[in-house]
Structure 1
Amino acid sequence: MHQIELELQNEELRRTHAELDAARARWFDLFDLAPVGYITIDGQGTVTEANLAAANMLGLGRGAMIERSLSGFVLPEDKDVLYLYRKNFSETGFSPDCELRMVKPDGTILWVRLTTAISRNADGSIFWLMTLSDITGLRLETDEQELAAHLILLVDSQGDFRSCMSDLAAALQSWSGCEAVGIRLRDGDDFPLYESRGFSPAFLRDGCRLSACGPDGNILRDGAGNPVLECMCGNVIKGRFDPSKSCFTVRGSFWTNGANHSPVSTVEAFRRSCVRNRCNENGYESVALIRLSLGDEVFGLLQFNDLRPNRFTPARIAHFERMADRLSIALSHRQAEEALRNSEELLSSFIKCSPIYACIREVTPTESRVLMASENFRDMIGIPGSEMIGKSMAALFPPEFARAITADDWTVVSTGKPILHEEELKGRQYTTIQFPIAFGDKKLLAGYTIDMTEWNNAEEELRKALEENRNLLRELQHRTKNSLTLIHSLINLSSMAGVSTEVKEVLDELGTRVKSVSELYNLLQHADSYKNLKLDEYCVRIAAPIADLSGNVSFSVETESIVIPVKDAATIGLIVSELMMNALKYAFPDFRRGAIALAVKKTANGALLEIRDDGIGLPEGFALPADAGLGLTLVHELTGQIGGSFKIGSNGKGTCGTVEFPVAGR
């Protein structure tokens, strides 16, 4: 009987052990192999147990966590978070989950969510059972979204851009956890550090700008004329990267967790690309360079530096790139808004400060309303342009004048054609040009008005003065012509007073010369211009009376219309007179019959004057100027005064004298 009881007890004991083994196995499965981290800590915060997930999460062997304070695994900045969490839980028996940052032995930071329950050991002592969930990715995404929204608000804000970028750099530093953060933005041909946090003064001094300069201080350029950018930052900005290298992403971002052992240092292509190693020299182990770009437009670069190694992972760099994309969109939007705002301010300043009256109006068939106007309208209507905005013409001008303006405005915008018209208001004369502006569905009109009162008054005074001068000039020309006519008459009387043949010839030649000058003043007195003269008409009026002196010589004319300056007319008149007198005097001896022809023709640069006769011709061997008499010598000298050339010769049928000279304006 006793034996049977022992066997039953042994069987019960074996069954209990089996159940305990099964329970221990289930505990191992539930505790050690759980996908989340489990730890237990005592009342002083010392870790007493830890499962594999918790150890792996912190990059430790499970045994390395035991008998160590939990706060030793927490980032120093978050130790207070853990203390307050435990304190609140102890006092109330309940507390929401706690999120804090923990640090691996290699310096990697991860976000962990703590969920806690309190229990008691068999001896009655309290222990804490905690679950640790790695929420780094989730937290980065949440922070990324919040930061992106914050960045967009910063960039889109209307405040000072430098202040916005300063706040942006601080936000990026806090979000990334990096010791130093920089924002490089395009500035002409360079990409200097526009704003930064955490860099030393020496780094900012030596590594601020990227453009390479020659000995003369000028920026060096490549064969295409683009500036040469140094440093790895320059490589990233210019898109010079090798995606087969682990330090580059497919999008061209560069990152390393140990700058002194970067694969870049072993790549010959990059040794030739002006890498300056400023980050290495300043001891930065972890470096990430993310380009800010949208399409083909490059805005700059985000730079993350840390003296500690192993600060980055591919996932973290992907977060940086997404942040850079959002920031690039915000910068592009800001840039477009600034360009639009600058354009609007420039237009507003142009309108406001215009020295002439300028305005832009919105027009309907019945109303024309001011959108912009220059301040100087106060001089016209007593109201500055800033106070005209939004008002109709009826509110600014007298009714009849306002209706006329509105009608003209509608004509411009409805026909699409500009108009120029004269106006008078309050005794002042104005000239206005108006033209339509295409602006969406609105019918807009721009107008410029110039006060022409002083101009018109000055023009009227000038017209009166000019008319007085013309009258004086006509009177002077009339008196000069009368004086020359009197002199010519006196010469003729002297010639008929029984003087010798030689004296008579001299007097006749002198009279002919005076007559040619007199004809000039006769033409000017009846001409429309005092600056120019018709050469063809002038030459005929001089040559015809001379040809009439001989009854046995016929005279013909072949001319083209040519206008010459009055200043050359007297000289040309004397030339014609001398050549005509020379022909009558020597071509037809013994009263033989003959013909003289006058030709006035245009040339490429001036005019050609030709007087031809069919007389006896020049003596054999005749040459200028050696064989010339007084008349031809005078022609030669006069031709030089007008910049021309004189030729005379015989071709078997009389003599031909030609004068070719330039004419201003041809």
Structure 2
Amino acid sequence: MIEDNPGDARLVRELVHDAPDLAIHHVGTLAEGLNSLSGGGPDVVLLDLGLPDSSGLDTLRAILGAAPTVPVVVLTGQDDEEVGRMALREGAQDYLVKGMQLETILIRTVRYAIERKRSQLRLIERNATLSAVLESTAFPIFAVDADYRYTGFNQAHFQAVKAASGVAIRRGDRLPDHLADPAVWEAMRPHLDRALQGESTVLTTDSGVEGLRRRTFEIAYQPVRIETGGIIGVAVFSRDVTERARSEERDRFARALLELLNRPDPETTLIRDILQLVKKSTGLEAVAIRLRDGEDYPYFLTNGFPAPFVEKERTLCARDDQGAILRDGDRKPILECMCGNILRGRTDPALPFFTEGGSFWSNHTSELLATTTEEERMSNTRNRCNAAGYESVALIPLRGQDGIIGLLQLNDHRRDRFDPEMIRFFEGMGASIGIALSRSQAREDLRRSAQQWSATFDAIDDIVCVLSPGHEFLEINRAGCRALGMAREEILGRKCYELVHGTQAPIPGCPCMRSLATGTPASGEHTEGGRTFSLVSWPSLGTGGRVISLAHTVKDITDIKQAQVQHDLLEEQLRASQKMEAIGSLAGGVAHDFNNLLSVILSYTGLAMEQLPQGDPAMDDLVEVQKAGERAAELTRQLLAFSRKQVLQPSILDVNQVALGLQKMLRRILGEDIELVQTLDPGIGRVKADQGQLEQVLMNLVVNARDAMPAG
């Protein structure tokens, strides 16, 4: 207490005597008071403005300057209330009029002064902290009152408004006066009005600029309330959430893509849906996928590219004037343009248009072509993308389990559609797409293989089935179903011996039993119902050599068996015929030579008979020689007929005589096991024919009869 009047000082001491938490240190001058404050200071100062060394508000100012954090309660006389009110405006917490019921209000006033000052200090501290935070915040923050006048703003908002309108805002300015676009005010006002009614709003909007310059903002409109709960304005917080929005978009894209990739769709459907998703998610004008097809990488599907462009760019293999594929030193096809670089892995991350992940990208293809050489671009570029007006182009490799299987192409006529983060994201997605397409191609190959196997399986005329080690049908072809007269569904799962043979166990000699026992193929034959079947089994082995299934074929070989018997018979007949032909050839040769000798004998015999006189005893001998020669000539003629080498001489013949003349030769041909019986018709007429031919006919009949009776 700084009070120069001892009576007033004593009165104050008496009034606070009963308050245990209050202790008074009394001084009588300003100098003593300032000295006391410099030593640590009291919790509150009771100050008389009329002191020996100072008076009036200057005294208050001196105390507040020395101890700005200590609350001051001014003591005034009864005629100084106006001074007290002025003291409040200068910074005093309160004032007391001496003699005005101090006993009832002194202690309460002191305590309130202390508490109010502490509250003020806390508020000042919080405001200072808040102000520092707001000023250090990069995103704009401002507040307006119910008339939309600025009550506060941070530096970020100040700079944003100044950059947009060219005018520096001040507290008290109306917000709509500083918005360059009236549409922005029309969009903001409903949210401000709702906040003035107590409703908080958070919304997301963008800058309206396309491409990488587009920014996404989250704007919050919060009511500003006083301690009594009343609303005095609106605080608006604006945050740039572009990166978060992009991250969320990419997360949504990745989830949608993974859902697509996990669907068991055909490859064409899968790629079509992937391209639609990429185009929709990125807002790009044109997207495409190239996939390996033999030695080339043609467009598999495109979305957004004009048809003439696709037709010109469909394939990548370089060709000569005759259309033959050009090859490099390793005999690999030369793939043209930048796509060829990506597919062959010819990239250099040191160049700005290539990445560590093996991709190519450019936001300005015209500038790229103007500032780089083909050597730097590492390929003979066709430049059709740039010629078609595409400024933003990206090529992302699709990596499967066996390396690069294709690429994802992203094109847009607008510039600045890509950034490194976006390319890295699509490189990751490209790996997922590549693996999924590899799986899809494997599934498609497996499906085609299964179709081919099924078609081949059912096209086999023999019965083919797959059996379990317990002899249950696991699969059976169409021929097996026809043989059993049942549908495949009725057969599968049933035991083969029960269904086919009607037995309770496999039949004796079943090759499947041997395969189960040995783990090796087995075969055999089985006759049932007058039919003979060839049976073969091939075991399929699992781990440890255990038989896990049996491929079993059943072929009806009845006709083959019968044909084999007939074949053996015909083969025997052929051998006999060949033997007879050989004999006939030999006989013909001998008969021809012998006939020449007989001609000489008969000629000389005839000459000798002409030279002998009538009645000569030698004549009878020569006649016998002549008869023997003629008989020999007849025999020779028969041999020639047998060998089919005689000259045709038709004449009138007695068939009975011809047959009788052949009797001895036919007996020799037939052998001892076959009896020759001739039954001659005496009334048969004579015929004109070549005797040798007629004899040949008779011999053929006899030979055929002999061949039909091999056992005699």
Same fold (TM over 0.5): yes
Change in 2 beyond 3 A, CA 1:434/1:294: same
Q: Which of residues 468, 471, 483 in structure 2 aligns to 1:380?
A: 483
Of 443, 448, 456, the residue aligned with 2:553 is 448
Contact 1:372 1:386 in 2 (8 A): no
Cα deviation for residue 291 of structure 1 reads 0.9
Q: Counterpart of 2:431?
A: 325
* TM-score, length of structure 1 as denominator length: 0.61
Contact 1:351 1:359 in 2 (8 A): no
Sort the Cα spacing of 1:37 and 1:289 in 2 relative to 1 into closer, same or farther, 3 A.
Answer: farther
Q: Which residue, out of 473, 485, 494, partners 1:391?
A: 494
Aligned to 1:238: 344
> Is 1:350 aligned with 2:456?
yes
Is residue 248 from structure 1 mapped to residue 359 from structure 2 by the alignment?
no
Distance in 1 separating the partners of 2:158 and 2:299: 41
The answer to whether the Cα contact below 8 Å between 1:245 and 1:263 also exists between their aligned partners in 2 is no
Q: 2:288 maps to which residue?
A: 182
| 2:179 equivalent to 1:68 | yes
Secondary structure of the residue aligned to 1:371 is strand
Separation in 1 of the partners of 2:516 and 2:274? 48
2:367 corresponds to? 261
Q: Is the 8 A contact 2:195 2:222 kept in 1?
A: no
Q: Distance in 2 between matches of 1:55 and 1:405?
A: 102
Gap change, CA 1:378 and 1:200, over 3 Å in 2: closer
1:457 equivalent to 2:568? Answer: no
Counterpart among 122, 129, 141 of residue 38 in structure 1:
141
Contact 1:374 1:386 in 2 (8 A): no
Q: TM-score, normalised by structure 2?
A: 0.58
Distance 1:265 1:495 in 2: 117
Q: 1:341: Cα distance to partner?
A: 2.9
Q: CA deviation at 1:403?
A: 0.8
Q: Is contact 1:41–1:48 with CA below 8 Å preserved after alignment?
A: yes
1:93 match: 199
Partner in structure 2 of residue 165 of structure 1: 271
The alpha-carbon deviation at position 143 of structure 1 amounts to 4.0
1:534-573 matches, within 5 Å, as none
Seen in structure 2, the aligned counterparts of structure 1 residues 98 and 223 have a Cα distance that, compared at 3 Å, is: same
**Aligned in 2, Cα 1:52/1:383: closer, same or farther, shift over 3 Å?**
farther
CA distance in 2, matches of 1:140, 1:243: 25
> Match for residue 416 of structure 1?
519
RMSD after superposition: 4.8
Q: 1:396 to 1:281 in 2, by over 3 A?
A: same
- In structure 2, which of residues 34, 58, 61 is the aligned counterpart of residue 7 of structure 1? 58
Q: 1:373 Cα shift?
A: 1.9
- 2:222 is the alignment partner of 1:117: yes
Structure-1 separation of matches of 2:489 and 2:313: 48
Letter in 1 for 2:467: R
Taking the aligned partners of 2:159 and 2:434, their CA distance within structure 1 comes to 38
Distance 2:410 2:147 in 1: 38
| Distance (Å, rounded) in 1 between the aligned partners of 2:148 and 2:274 | 38
Asked whether the 8 Å contact 1:40–1:49 carries over to 2, the reply is: yes
Deviations 1:350-381 (A, max 9, x none): 21222332222222xxx212222211113422
What residue identity is the alignment partner of 2:179? R
- Judging by fraction of residues, say which structure has more strand: 1
1:361 is the counterpart of 2:472: no
Whole-Å separation in 1 of the counterparts to 2:456 and 2:162:
66
Q: Does 1:129 align with 2:180?
A: no
Distance 1:59 1:478, change over 3 A: farther
| Partner amino acid, structure 2, of 1:415 | T
Q: 1:47 to 1:420 in 2, by over 3 A?
A: farther
- Deviation, structure 1 residue 300: 1.2
Please report how far the alpha carbon of residue 152 of structure 1 lies from its aligned counterpart in structure 2 after TM superposition: 3.4
AA of the residue aligned to 2:440: R
- SS in structure 2 opposite 1:218? coil
The partner residue of 1:214 within 320, 324, 330 is: 320
Q: Distance in 1 between matches of 2:305 and 2:454?
A: 42
**What displacement does 1:252 show?**
1.8
User: Deviation at 1:10?
Assistant: 5.2
8 Å CA contact 1:148–1:326 kept in 2: the answer is: no
Q: Provide the residue aligned with 1:527 in structure 2.
A: none
Q: Which secondary structure state, in structure 1, belongs to the residue aligned with residue 507 of structure 2?
A: helix
1:273 positional shift? 1.2
Q: Tell me: CA distance 1:451–1:126, structure 2 relative to 1, closer, same or farther (3 Å).
A: farther
| Paired position in structure 2 for 1:583 | none
Q: Map residues 241-640 of structure 1 onto 2, 5 A cutoff.
A: 241-262=347-368, 265-270=371-376, 273-294=379-400, 296-363=402-469, 367-385=470-488, 387-400=490-503, 403-404=506-507, 407-439=510-542, 443-474=548-579
Q: Is the 8 A contact 1:247 1:263 kept in 2?
A: no
Deviations 1:129-181 (A, max 9, x none): 22415252x44444434433432332342333222222111211233333332
Cα 1:330/1:402, change in 2 over 3 Å: same
- Whether the 8 Å CA contact 1:47–1:69 is kept in 2: the answer is no
Q: Answer yes or no: is the 8 Å Cα contact 1:178–1:306 preserved in 2.
A: yes
Q: Is the 8 A contact 1:180 1:304 kept in 2?
A: yes
Unmatched 5+ stretches in structure 2:
1-48, 69-89, 92-119, 170-174, 606-631, 643-712
**Partner SS, residue 404 of structure 1:** coil
Q: Greater relative contact order: 1 or 2 (C-alpha under 8 angstroms, separation 6 or more)?
A: 1
Give a deviation string over 1:271-312, Cα, whole Å, max 9, x none. Answer: 561112233223333322211113652121122223333332
- Cα separation, 1, equivalents of 2:365 and 2:580: 99
**How far is 1:194 from its partner?**
2.5
Q: Alpha-carbon deviations, 1:396-437, whole Å to 9, x = none?
A: 212349612895213214423212222234333222332222
- 8 Å CA contact retained: 1:359, 1:374: yes
CA contact (8 A) 2:401 2:438 kept: no
> What CA distance in whole angstroms lies between the structure 2 residues aligned with 1:275 and 1:198?
22
Query: Which sits farther off after the overlay, 471-480 or 238-247?
Result: 471-480
CA offsets, 1:242-269, max 9 Å, x none? 2111222112212222222238841441
| 2:506 aligned counterpart, secondary structure | helix
State the distance in 1 between where 2:162 and 2:500 align: 84
Tell whether the 8 Å contact from 2:539 to 2:549 is kept in structure 1 after alignment.
Answer: yes
Q: Is the 8 A contact 1:46 1:68 kept in 2?
A: no
| In 2, Cα distance between equivalents of 1:216 and 1:350 | 40
Q: 1:274 to 1:86 in 2, by over 3 A?
A: farther
In the TM superposition, what whole-angstrom CA distance separates every residue of 1:512-555 from its partner, at most 9, and x where no partner exists? Answer: xxx9xx9xx9xxxxxxxxxxxxxxxxxxxxxxxxxxxxxxxxxx
The structural deviation recorded for 1:52 is 5.6
Larger-gyration structure (1/2): 2
Q: Are the aligned partners of 1:264 and 1:270 in contact in 2 as well (CA < 8 Å)? A: no
- Partners of 2:355 and 2:162 in 1: CA distance: 26
Question: Could you tell me how far apart the structure 2 residues matched to 1:123 and 1:91 are?
Answer: 10
Unaligned runs of at least 5 residues, structure 1: 501-510, 522-666
The 8 Å contact of residues 371 and 389 in structure 1, kept in 2 or not, is answered as: yes
Asked whether the 8 Å contact 1:54–1:132 carries over to 2, the reply is no
Structure-2 change in CA distance of 1:84 and 1:23 (3 Å): closer
Is the Cα–Cα contact under 8 Å of residues 57 and 134 in structure 1 kept in the other structure?
Answer: no
The DSSP-based 3-state class of the residue aligned with 1:437 is strand
* Structure 2 Cα separation of the partners of residues 276 and 167 of structure 1: 29
Letter of the 2:346 counterpart: R
Matches of 2:357 and 2:595, distance apart in 1: 106
1:394 to 1:133, Cα distance in 2 relative to 1, 3 A: farther
2: CA distance, partners of 1:198 / 1:43: 51
Q: Which amino acid aligns with 2:568?
A: R
